Amino acid sequence: MQLAPPDYERDAANFSRDARQYEDSRSQGWFAAPIHKRVLDLAGSVPDSSTILDVGCGTGRLLRTAGERWPTAKLVGVDPAAGMIAVAREKTPKATFYETPASAIPLPDASVAVALATLSFHHWADKPRGLREISRVLRPGGVFVNADLLWPNWIRWLVNDMHPSAPSPAILQTMLRLAGLPVQDRFRMTHGFVFVTRSIKMSAA
């Protein structure tokens, strides 16, 4: 069964090809690192031995930072790019990694305290299904923090074909609400090029 359309598979192949050099990019320091810090701050406190999930984990850099902040947490990353997962396993042996898209997270229901996604959401082939999967694995009251590219209107028409951004804030909030992840906080950062949301998994009725 094909899990994703051809464009998605080419996307994953491109990331796999560049995986060994991915963290060498200067943008990891000035662009990604502040986003990672803000996302982890928004995650709040993490109880001992709780599971932190990074969806679209790449080479595992965010999970390594999370592990420094919460050394007793269980770290899990999922990413469809085989090359990224291979590097992540080498660099982050404490964590568990799965080569899989967001739409097929191999974790039990209500097993995750915090789910994170940084600069990956616009790559997901099936965004509604991916959000439903995150909602499924989050425990009631669990936190999902998503930070992704959102081009300002003045530049969207120019770059969207080359590097599409996530859905508009209104559409994204609707998608999150329908997945059982109502937005509690939202804001832009990085000069408005990144849109961040913090959602709380609704408790069971």
pLDDT tens readout for residues 23-65: 666 666 668 899 999 999 999 999 999 999 999 999 999 999 9
Contact criterion met (CB below 8 Å) for 144 and 201: yes
Distance from C-alpha of 126 to C-alpha of 140, rounded to nearest angstrom: 23
Residue 121 CB neighbour total at 10 angstroms: 25
Distance from C-alpha of 157 to C-alpha of 150, rounded to nearest angstrom: 12
* Cα 126 off chain centre by: 14
Contact criterion met (CB below 8 Å) for 55 and 137: no
- Report whether pLDDT(6) > 70: no
70-74, 109-113, 145-149, 166-170: which range is least confident on average?
166-170
Q: Which residues contact 163 (CB under 8 A, 6 or more apart)?
A: 149
The pLDDT of 161-171, averaged and rounded, is 72
In 3D, which of 175, 114, 124 has the Cα closest to residue 149?
A: 124
Amino acid at 155: I
CATH architecture of 6-200: 3-Layer(aba) Sandwich (3.40)
Based on its alpha-carbon atoms, the radius of gyration of the chain, rounded to whole angstroms, reads 16
Residue length of the chain: 205
Whole-prediction pTM: 0.87
Distance from C-alpha of 120 to C-alpha of 52, rounded to nearest angstrom: 16
Per domain, the residue ranges of the chain are 6-200
Please give the pLDDT value at position 177: 97
